[in-house]
Homo-oligomer: A and B are copies of this chain.
Amino acid sequence: MNGLSATERTRHRRLRENGRTDRAALYEVLRAGFVCHLGVVSGGVPMVVPTVYGFDADHLYVHGSVASRSLTTEEPAGSPSAPAGGSAGTVCVTVTHVDGLVLARSVFEHGVNYRSAMVYGVPRRLEGEEKTAALRILTEHAAPGQWDYARPPSRKELAATTVLAISLAEASVKVSSGPPGDGDGPDAELGLWAGVLPLATTWLPPVADPLLPEGVTVPDHIGGRAGTRLS
């Protein structure tokens, strides 16, 4: 399973040179963030909601009732045979990191440096041990160390949580990086500055809950992230 399948949906018609089809590149993009944009179709209309995700070798996991509401609006409630995603059922999950602005000599050549992953799949609702395992992956991806540090979910809390698994089998990655492309064209004669204005997303020092009693110290797994780059 080294290559990602290039289906009609994920084969890049434009910017083909930017398409990366190896699995390592996919994991790299997924590792560098924890909020995705989940696209679903509800009543024929697309709906794009930001939501937390986690992943393992073969699946992406999302949770929360926003997603579950979106994924069930097309089927009557309580219909036991209804697939999670309604009639079609396929969702699109996109994870994007914006790395900088590409400032060219011409307006037309301006662009964005970014890394982006798109995953298409029919989500499967997890239950039991699978659900708990996925919740742990999701929590540890966003907040490493918190699954063991914080109080684990109770049975009631687990029941109130929806966790969906989406296969990583149909995925694609696009990466755009480097300077603008007009440095050796006629516009280079204009004598204008050109280059990249990079962006960095960084963790700031933790801010304690005002209700926290004095003397409770920040654990290393939280405090140690301050100053590090997210993406």
Contact = CB atoms under 8 A, between A and B. Distances in A.
Contact of A207 (B198, B203, B219): B198
Given A107-B146, A110-B150, A207 B195 contact: yes
A77 interface: no
Given A96-B35, A216-B191, A209 B179 contact: yes
Interface in A23-74: 34-35, 37-42, 44-50, 52, 65-66, 69
A200 B198 contact: no
A165 to B, nearest CB: 18
Given A45-B9, A45-B88, A180-B209, A14 B202 contact: no
B92 A192 contact: no
A226 B93 CA distance: 32
Interface string A1-20: 00000000100011000000
Given A112-B52, A193-B217, A188 B211 contact: yes
B222 A193 contact: yes
Contact of A114 (B35, B107, B154, B193): B35
Contacts of A147: 107
A119 to B, nearest CB: 10
A21 interface: no
Given A45-B120, A50-B116, A153 B208 contact: no
A175 interface: no
B195 A212 contact: yes
B222 A103 contact: yes
A225 interface: yes
Contacts of A190: 151
